[in-house]
Each structure stands twice: as C-alpha cells, then as structure tokens.
C-alpha cells in the first residue's frame, strides 16, 4: 500500500525518531510530508524515502497552549497548507499523521473515504494543551480519524477522558533497537568517560529535550544537595523553550554547581553517553506520554529513575526494573540516587532486569509489525 506519513516538524523529537524507525522498517511504500525542515528530513532521505517539505507559515507558529484568537488568526495559513497537502496526498491509500498539527491538516486535506490514521504521541491534558486545542483535536479525532494509535495506555486514557471515542483507539508501544547500545564496548565507555572528565566520578545522566515539564530543574535541585554526584544534562530546547534553558543555567550558577553539572547540548550519540553514566534520571513533572529515554536507559543497562506518571508507569516496575519517584519530589529523588550510589548490588540488579524487560516489551520489530498490520486493515 502507498502510505503518506505526515509530521509537523523536521526537529528530532521522540515522535520523529519513532517514525524514522517505522518508515525505515515498513513493508508499505512510504513518502513523508514535513511542515518544517531540520535533521529529521536528512535522516529520512538517507533511508532513502521521498520527503515533501511544505512551508507551514503562521500555522507553524500555533503552540499547544494556543488560545482561540491565535488559532483563528492562523486559519488562512492552515487553508494554504491543507491545499498543498491535498495535492500530494491524492495518490495515497492511507494518510498517517504523526503529530497533532499534522493530523488536523491531514483531516482537512484527505479525500472523501481516504483512510486517516492519527498516531497520538501527546497527553491530551491541561498541563500539555490549552482547552481549545484539546477540543479541536478530540472533535477531529472522533469525526475524521479512522483510527487513533496511542503510544501508551496513559495517552489513550487522556484521549478518552477528553471525549475521544474508545472504539477508535488502540495502543502501540514505541520500540527501540538495542543494537546501538551493544556496539559500544566497556573499553570505549572508559575512553568516553575520560574524555568527558568523568573518571572515578558518580554521574547521573538526564536525557531529553529541555522543557519546563521535562523537569530538569528538579534534578539540578536534587543534585545540589548531593556533593559527590555529577549531573550530565543531554539535550536542548527543540521547540522554542530558550528561557527555560537560561533558567537552568542560572539555577546551576545560584547553587555554584558548574563543576558538577555538565550541559552537553543535543547529541546524536545518546546510546554511548547513556552507557557512560552510572544512573539515568527522567524527572518529568507532568505525565510523560511514553518516554523513549526511559527504555533507552534500560537498554543501556543503566538503572533508570523516573517519575510515577504517564507512560513511565507502564515501562518501569518500581524496585524491579527501575525506580519510580513522585513527580517534583526532590527528597525522594535524592534518596533514590543515594541508594544506587551506595548499593552496587541493587544498581546492577535493576540494570539487568531493566534491560531484559525493555528487550521483551519494547522491541522495534514488534512496533513496526503492529503499525504495518494496522495500516493493512485499511486496504480496499
Ligand atoms: N535525544 C537525542 N539527543 C539528545 C536528547 C534526546 O537524540 O540530545 C533523543 C532520545 O534519545 C530519545 C528522544 O530524543 O530517543 C526523546 O524521546 P522521548 O520520548 O523521551 O521524549 P519526547 O521528545 O518525545 O518528548
């Protein structure tokens, strides 16, 4: 079947990295539409897969917290985008929208009877979206999507709780390949640690884009009171959260932590870096829709501490395959880090069990097969 995948961004967020694996592995004939350029386009073209770049204009500026007036002022730009997408989508059997904005434009652009799948990768909740954005998304989901694929049960539940139709929704978990984690030997880990100046140090790694709800500030606060612990922050603001990045740097200055907190920026060698830290902490303050970085940390055979909310709860069994702490709770986080620092038996046990669980439950082959089979349901 001919499938047109549509995504709103050329940046490399988790949704885009999951789509990259899907497009690389799919047995269907794939082409991709992006509403903005970036490194994602180049990786798709390397597969190789044809990519259509459509300038989004002011529709691209509409944020998830947008109110009715900014939505209305972007209507002409949405119409223009819709017209361009409709032309490209004509010859395809299925449209597969990988993000919310991509879904809204696809719903307007699809032919009558042309199947539309929405891969929902966001929690439709007040701490992520404005009321109007949620209402528009759920209304369109109920009326125009043939199927809503959620990346976790938590995401699906948020769709239903916002008024989404249960009979239209299924869960397909993200899958992640262990291969990049396995090709990095212990010797290479040692070399990278010494290059980064981490020999003999206990390093906690935080991986992911820098954004207030991802909670990197909570981790900095926690580490401030743990004098022997270093923190590596890997990632950058991908969607305009520059002020938050500045506030993180200011927090580090205020606590005089510049010797112990290392900002590494956005990196393409996440598997290697994960193998080079002692513990991985993911301290989101709002429910994480899925949390690829949690599974990646487990595949890297490192114990993962995550906050007890959203997708994290479906990935980690507390005390068995990782540790769950209360969102925003600095003391619990400190206790978890201290325990792992002092109890190497517990650290190794979590790392091993976490790895086995990630391999069994979040295989990339399973994800691709589930997506492919789902698409095939719409063949006519
Ligand atoms: N990531 C990356 N480089 C970085 C930071 C993060 O490649 O510097 C990747 C990370 O390995 C993961 C993805 O970005 O695969 C983030 O996905 P996640 O589901 O954790 O969060 P999202 O971006 O979807 O909110």
Q: Residue whose CA is closest, atom 25 of ligand 1?
A: 14
CA of 207 to the centre of ligand 1 (A): 7
- The tokens of 238 are what? 């991908």
CA of 110 to the centre of ligand 1 (A): 30
Q: 324 vs 92, 280, 282, 344, CA distance in Å?
A: 43, 12, 10, 18
| pLDDT tens, position by position, 119-131 | 999 999 988 888 8
- Compute the 3-state secondary structure of the chain and give helix, strand, coil in percent, each to the nearest 5: 50, 15, 35
Which stretch of 19-28, 74-83, 337-346 has the lowest confidence by average pLDDT?
74-83
The pLDDT of residue 71: 75
Atom of ligand 1 nearest to the CA of 238: 23
Q: Per residue in 228-242, is it b (16+ CB within 10 Å) or e — as a string?
A: ebbbbbbbbbbeebe
Give dist(CA 235, CA 247) in Å, integer: 15
CA of 33 to the centre of ligand 1 (A): 21
The pLDDT of residue 34: 97
Nearest CA among 12, 7, 8, 10 for reference residue 207:
12
Domains, in order of start, for the chain: 2-175+363-378 (3.40.50.2000), 179-361 (3.40.50.2000)
Could you check whether the bond before residue 48 is cis, i.e. omega within 30 degrees of 0?
Answer: yes
| Pocket perturbation via mutation, ligand 1, pick of 19, 155, 207 by most ligand atoms within 8 A of CB | 207
**Packing angle between helix 242-254 and helix 216-224, nearest 10 degrees?**
0
Nearest CA among 8, 13, 49 for reference residue 29:
49
Cβ–ligand 1 distance for 290 under 6 Å, the answer yes
Give dist(CA 312, CA 318) in Å, integer: 10
- 3 state SS of 372: helix
Cβ–ligand 1 distance for 292 under 6 Å, the answer yes
Residue 114 CB: number of other CB atoms within 10 A?
A: 19
Q: Work out the average pLDDT over 213-240.
A: 95
Mean pLDDT score of the chain: 95
Atom of ligand 1 nearest to the CA of 18: 15
Which stretch of 165-179, 206-220, 237-251 has the lowest confidence by average pLDDT?
237-251
Residue 73 reports pLDDT greater than 80 = no
- The tokens of 342 are what? 């002092």
Q: Residue whose CA is closest, atom 21 of ligand 1?
A: 14
Give dist(CA 252, CA 246) in Å, integer: 10
| pLDDT tens, position by position, 288-342 | 999 999 999 999 999 999 999 999 999 999 999 999 999 999 999 999 999 999 9
Nearest CA among 115, 159, 111, 110 for reference residue 137:
159
Cβ–ligand 1 distance for 209 under 6 Å, the answer yes
Q: How many residues does the chain have?
A: 380
CA of 14 to the centre of ligand 1 (A): 5
Give dist(CA 234, CA 219) in Å, integer: 13
Cβ atoms 354, 323 nearer than 8 A: no
pLDDT > 90: what percent of the chain?
Answer: 89
Atom of ligand 1 nearest to the CA of 294: 20
The radius of gyration of the chain from alpha carbons, rounded to an integer in Å, stands at: 21
Nearest CA among 95, 90, 123 for reference residue 107:
95
Cβ–ligand 1 distance for 278 under 6 Å, the answer no
Atom of ligand 1 nearest to the CA of 17: 15
CA of 132 to the centre of ligand 1 (A): 27
């Amino acid at each position: 079947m001919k499938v047109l995948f549509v995504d709103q961004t050329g940046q490399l967020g988790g949704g885009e990295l999951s789509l990259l694996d899907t497009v690389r592995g799919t047995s269907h004939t794939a082409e991709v539409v992006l509403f903005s350029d970036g490194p994602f386009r180049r990786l798709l073209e390397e597969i190789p897969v044809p990519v259509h770049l459509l300038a989004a204009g002011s529709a691209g500026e509409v944020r998830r917290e947008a109110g009715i007036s900014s939505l209305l002022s972007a209507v002409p730009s949405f119409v223009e985008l819709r017209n361009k997408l409709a032309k490209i989508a004509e010859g395809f059997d299925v449209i597969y929208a990988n993000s919310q904005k991509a879904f809204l434009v696809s719903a307007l652009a699809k032919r009558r009877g042309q199947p539309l799948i929405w891969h929902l990768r966001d929690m439709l909740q007040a701490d992520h979206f404005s009321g109007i954005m949620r209402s528009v998304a759920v209304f369109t989901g109920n009326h125009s999507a043939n199927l809503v694929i959620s990346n976790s049960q938590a995401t699906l539940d948020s769709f239903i709780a916002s008024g989404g139709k249960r009979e239209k929704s299924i869960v397909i978990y993200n899958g992640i390949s262990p291969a990049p984690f396995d090709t990095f030997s212990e010797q290479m880990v040692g070399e990278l640690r010494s290059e980064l100046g981490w020999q003999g140090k206990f390093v906690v790694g935080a991986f992911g884009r820098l954004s207030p709800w991802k909670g990197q500030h909570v981790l900095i606060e926690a580490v401030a009171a743990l004098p022997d612990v270093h923190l590596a922050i890997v990632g950058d603001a991908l969607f305009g959260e520059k002020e938050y990045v500045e506030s993180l740097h200011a927090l580090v200055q205020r606590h005089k932590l510049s010797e112990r907190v290392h900002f590494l920026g956005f990196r393409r060698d996440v598997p290697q870096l994960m193998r080079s830290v002692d513990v991985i902490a993911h301290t989101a303050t709002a429910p994480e829709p899925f949390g690829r970085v949690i599974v990646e940390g487990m595949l890297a055979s490192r114990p993962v501490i995550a906050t007890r909310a959203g997708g994290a709860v479906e990935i980690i069994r507390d005390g068995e395959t990782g540790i769950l702490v209360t969102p925003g709770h600095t003391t619990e986080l400190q206790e978890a880090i201290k325990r792992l620092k002092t109890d190497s038996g517990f650290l190794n046990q979590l790392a091993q069990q976490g790895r086995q669980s990630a391999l069994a439950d979040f295989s990339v082959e399973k994800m691709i097969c589930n997506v492919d089979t789902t698409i095939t349901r719409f063949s006519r």
